[in-house]
Structure 1
């Protein structure tokens, strides 16, 4: 089954290229009426997303510092990590676990879960209303990890 069907939530493929992070594919219909926290395109708030955390965690410290010097850690919601020390600690957890979670950091109503794909320049993620996330962290991480292991190249598969 596709990631979206397996978890009942929108799935995304994000990439890190040339010092930028972008969502490049989504299972969200272009004309979707439902609210959705991520659109295909450059991600200006990547530090507050699970896919951004996965992609930033894969960078070496000097490259990560350059990214953060350029983009900063702006507060998007009351849950956004804005302290460089707390952010580095979060990325250590992401590297150790192989999965990132963002609960209300970009949009207070949404949670995002992501895993790295391949060499760490791509990430696969899902986003769902936080009320539907509760108690599903392990399940979502398992579905994403399995999809990444089996080489799903696009979020829409």
Structure 2
């Protein structure tokens, strides 16, 4: 965004909040050093954020993100109409698949997890609500990209690039577009350890009646359990059935 359209003071406050979140708390000196700000500037921002209850000061002069953000996050998630509609179906998908099921949406060219449901066998991953990922590294992200106009996909790539997360990540634009074409043709996307080593995933986009992607759902599990017969046959059929139910509910809610 052009600097002429931004308020630098607000930007600094947000960067401080993001740093506190990433570090799990930080002191004034650490924040100043990492963000290249003076200690006095950091102190003023923290005092303002503390007064508004967006951060709080713990022991040892360490500041933390406040729970007031939780209320905002919960409200933001509920504004996505797909969340309430898809939630019970994501839970059913986890139970039927015996793995982890997820719901992801696109915002500002990144993928954001809205919800996950675990089966009794699900592996412990970082896919908590609010977690951001690059769209090209996940089956859900690729399912969404496959349903966006090519120009929009190019804009996302230009903005965020195609960073490599594992040796299996697609980092070539032409190869990615070939993958997206195949995804669009068969109706589901696959991720073979493209974001995390040892993790495979099958996903499909959830679209509104006009074909606009509202998000994507997936089943994820360890490579040792998701062999080709399950990854390419059993799970796609299962996930497409859930997709159909969610899209019908979205269309007629």
Q: Which TM class, normalised by the smaller chain length?
A: 0.7 to 0.9
Post-superposition CA distance 1:29-52 (Å, at most 9, x none): 9xxx94315232242322110000
Residue matched to 1:6 = 96
| Larger proportion of helix | 2
Distance 2:226 2:243 in 1: 20
Q: Which segment is superposed worse, 54-63 or 14-23? A: 14-23
Distance 1:51 1:39 in 2: 15
Is 1:71 the equivalent of 2:160?
A: yes
Consecutive unaligned residues of structure 2, counting only runs of 5 or more, are 1-88
Post-superposition CA distance 1:117-138 (Å, at most 9, x none): 1232211101100111102021
Is 1:23 the equivalent of 2:113?
A: yes
Normalising by structure 1, we get a TM-score of 0.87
Trace 1:51-70 onto structure 2 (pairs within 5 A).
51-70=140-159
Distance 1:8 1:102 in 2: 18
| Larger proportion of strand | 1
Residue matched to 2:31 = none
Normalising by structure 2, we get a TM-score of 0.56
Q: Secondary structure of 1:141's match? A: helix
Picking from 206, 213, 216, the partner of 1:117 is: 206
Structure number, greater radius of gyration: 2
Picking from 133, 142, 145, the partner of 2:237 is: 142
Aligned-residue offset at 1:108: 1.2
Residue matched to 2:34 = none
Aligned-residue offset at 1:16: 1.8
Conserved 8 A contact 1:12-1:27: yes
Q: Which segment is superposed worse, 99-108 or 43-52? A: 43-52
Question: Relative contact order (C-alpha < 8 Å, sep 6+): which is higher?
Answer: 1
Aligned-residue CA RMSD (Å): 2.0
Q: Structure 1 segments of 4 or more deviating over 4 A?
A: none
Residue matched to 1:151 = 246
Rate the CA distance shift 1:127–1:15 in 2: closer, same or farther, 3 A: same
Residue matched to 1:127 = 220
